[in-house]
Amino acid sequence: MSYSESAFVLTAAKIHTMEPSGVSVDWILVEGERIGALGPGDPPGGMKRIHLDGVLVPGFIDSHVHLTTTGLYHNGLDLRESRSVEELLSNLATYLSGNADDWVIGGNFDPGRNEDARMPDRNEIDRVVGRKKALLSRADGHSCTVSSAGFDAIALQPDLPGIDLDGEGSPTGVLRNQANYEARRRFFGMLPESKILSAQSEACRLALTKGVTSVHEMAGGSYMGDKDFEVMLSSLEDFPIHIVCYLATLDIQQVLGSGLKCVGGDLFLDGSIGSRTAAMTEPYLDFETRGHLYHEDEEMIDWYVEASRAGLQTGVHAIGDAAIEQALRCMEEAMIRVGPEGALGFTRLRHRIEHFECASREHMFRAKEMGVVGSVQPAFDAYWGGESGMYAARLGERWRSMNDFSLMHTEGMVLAGGSDSTVTPLDPLMGISAAVNHLSGSSAVTPAEALAMFTSSGAWAARQESERGSLAVGKRADLTVLSGDPLQTDPSEIQRLAPMETWVGGKRRWRGEEGFFPTDLENGLHKDG
């Protein structure tokens, strides 16, 4: 077989194709943006060869990301390492000393991992920001605190659910539920498009340094409104990684008009456990609430029917067991209404449930029967699981059955791995490590199963398994080079592995200390002689 003059061969210390056959290969021939051939033994002669000093795997796929906030916080006010309210305020003051913006947006503050176990109130923030308009988001994005000037500027309706009040009936600045989502929409809606695009581009560059070649973007909806979606859609082909864009909307026609093949994504059926807004069948342990469902059944059934008839894959955010139950019963009813002729097509659409944290074994079985993909975030367990973690504080012993990836596999579900960045860092190796080292030991998966979550199963979840997710002839040459073998490394050491190079469509886009390669492949090849 003849190949073009630009074709070249890649070899590595080891190659994992993630193909079901499990056939071992020693080389990959790249022609243009795709894999032209691969196999064991000696590669074809007469062409350039590049040896990669590491273990080669398919490019990582993060199946649940918020690129705009990831970039905004990465470039700006990231409060993840603040371990108290006072430390948050100190970090806020440091940030403001070098930033003159009148609108201040920060995020990733995690009360569940600091000594105060609470969000700051507006009076505390006012001491630092004065009359600046500030919004500081909890790590899960389901609650926030706004400064007094910010609260005045966004002018929320006084009776909007989720506005915390003090003993005198005045707003504390802490917002949850609908108030939080509306505040976020209004704040982010005031950002200039150039800043949003810059944040999205920065998040893509961050992804490359983590070995990520494709992300499933959870755009719009209650996190940002539609502005970030519109900016992203206008520049989709210009980003250095592949983006599958889900828009959190009930408006099927809007999505069809955008030319997308999926809808929903992070469409909230409930909130989060940290903010006590995830919908549970039993009350929380530390507060008298069961959380909230955000939509009526009939509304969701109609949405599933309309989307399925239009051939759109859907995704919904469901964390609590009551929300997961709602998603499943609405899909089951929609499947009946679509009718026998459409039922098979319904399962082939691979509808998704994002998070799927508090699922029972029955939920897993029902999901598998309808072809539902579980889009899960293993690092959630690493951050908030365990006997002394936030989940145990909120739910008691129920934490032990949460995020049971092993049981999901046993029930035959396809699991796609993600970070929900910025909720946890955009870092597949962290996710792989968390899935293998689950804090409830019986819920852990094998390294091979964990790697599949962030490669082949991630591609399946977006109906792109013919394009990416494994290394095979005809697929895109999306590749990640790792410092060691995740399938052979001691499980406790997996997170110590590091990406060394990231290739997208046959082009080296990032390599260690040398940084990014925005040029053509030929311009990068000279480094290999």
**pLDDT at residue number 45:** 87
DSSP state of 111: G
* C-alpha distances in Å from residue 195, one per residue of 38, 71, 74, 109: 42, 10, 13, 22
CATH code of the domain in which 342 resides: 3.20.20.140
163 and 270: one domain?
no
C-beta pairs of 235-240 under 8 Å, 24+ apart in sequence? 235/197, 235/200, 239/200, 239/201, 239/204, 240/204, 240/205, 240/208, 240/504, 240/509, 240/516, 240/518
- 508 domain-assigned: yes
One domain, residues 420 and 370: yes
Beta-strand runs (E) in 92-162: 103-109, 133-138, 143-146
Instruction: Give the domain CATH number at 498.
Output: 2.30.40.10
pLDDT of 222 = 59
Asked if the structure places residue 227 within a domain, the reply is no
Domain CATH code at residue 142: 3.10.310.70
- Regarding whether 357 and 279 lie in a shared domain, the answer is yes
CA angle 48, 52, 57 (to 5 degrees): 115
* 310 found inside a domain: yes
250 within a domain of the structure (yes/no): no
The Cα–Cα gap between 18 and 5 comes to 28
Predicted local confidence at residue 270, as pLDDT:
96
The CA distance from 514 to 233, in Å, is: 30
- What does pTM read for this prediction? 0.92
pLDDT of residue 518: 67
Q: Which two tokens stand for residue 187?
A: 């704040």
Total domains, the chain? 3
Residues 109 and 155 grouped into a single domain? yes
Tokens found for residue 515: 């940084």
Count Cβ atoms below 10 Å from residue 11 Cβ, excluding itself. 15
Cα of 276 vs its chain's centroid, Å = 21
Domain boundary among the residues 150, 168, 189 is at 189
Residues 75 and 31 in one domain: no
Strand bridging mode 163-165 / 171-176: antiparallel
| Same-domain check for residues 116 and 166 | yes
**One domain, residues 439 and 492:** no
Residue at which a domain ends, from 140, 170, 189:
189
- The CA distance from 426 to 281, in Å, is 31
383 shares a domain with 499 = no
Q: Please say whether the beta carbons of 452 and 17 come within 8 A.
A: no
Residue 304 shares a structural domain with residue 422: yes
360 and 484 in a single domain? The answer is no
At 185 the pLDDT is 86
Q: Which of 349, 298, 354 is nearest to 324 (CA)?
A: 354
Per-residue DSSP letter, 239: S
Q: Which of 461, 495, 519 is the last residue of a domain?
A: 461
Rounded distance, CA 342 to CA 327, Å? 19
Question: Residue 253 falls within a domain, yes or no?
Answer: no
Would you give per-residue pLDDT tens digits along the chain (529 residues)?
678 888 999 999 999 999 998 889 999 999 999 999 999 999 998 899 999 999 999 999 999 999 999 998 888 899 989 999 999 999 999 999 988 888 899 989 988 777 788 999 999 999 999 999 999 999 888 899 999 999 999 899 998 999 999 999 999 999 988 899 899 888 888 888 998 999 999 999 999 999 999 999 999 875 666 788 999 999 999 999 999 999 999 999 999 999 999 999 999 999 999 989 999 999 999 999 999 999 999 999 999 999 999 999 999 999 999 999 999 999 999 999 998 767 668 999 999 999 999 999 999 999 999 999 999 999 999 999 999 999 999 999 999 999 999 999 999 999 999 999 999 999 999 999 999 999 999 999 999 999 999 999 999 999 999 999 999 999 999 999 999 999 999 999 999 999 999 999 999 999 998 999 864 433 433 333 2
**How far apart are alpha carbons 342 and 163 in whole angstroms?**
44
Q: Which domain holds residue 510?
A: 8-59+477-528
The torsion angles phi and psi of 236, rounded to 5 degrees, stand at -55, -40
Q: HSE on the CB side for 221, CA within 13 Å?
A: 25
Q: Does the residue 506 lie in any domain?
A: yes
Counted residue by residue, the chain has a size of 529
- Residue (of 150, 90, 77, 88) closest to 117 by Cα position: 88
Are residues 395 and 520 both part of a single domain? no
Q: Based on the domain organization, do 433 and 296 belong to the same domain?
A: yes
Whole-angstrom Cα distance, residue 176 to residue 160? 10
**What one-letter code names the amino acid at 29?**
L
**Does residue 233 form part of some domain?**
no
Q: What is the pLDDT of residue 112?
A: 77
Please tell me the predicted confidence (pLDDT) of residue 522.
37
Distance CA 405, CA 420 (A): 17
End-to-end Cα distance, the chain: 25
Report if residue 230 sits inside a domain: no
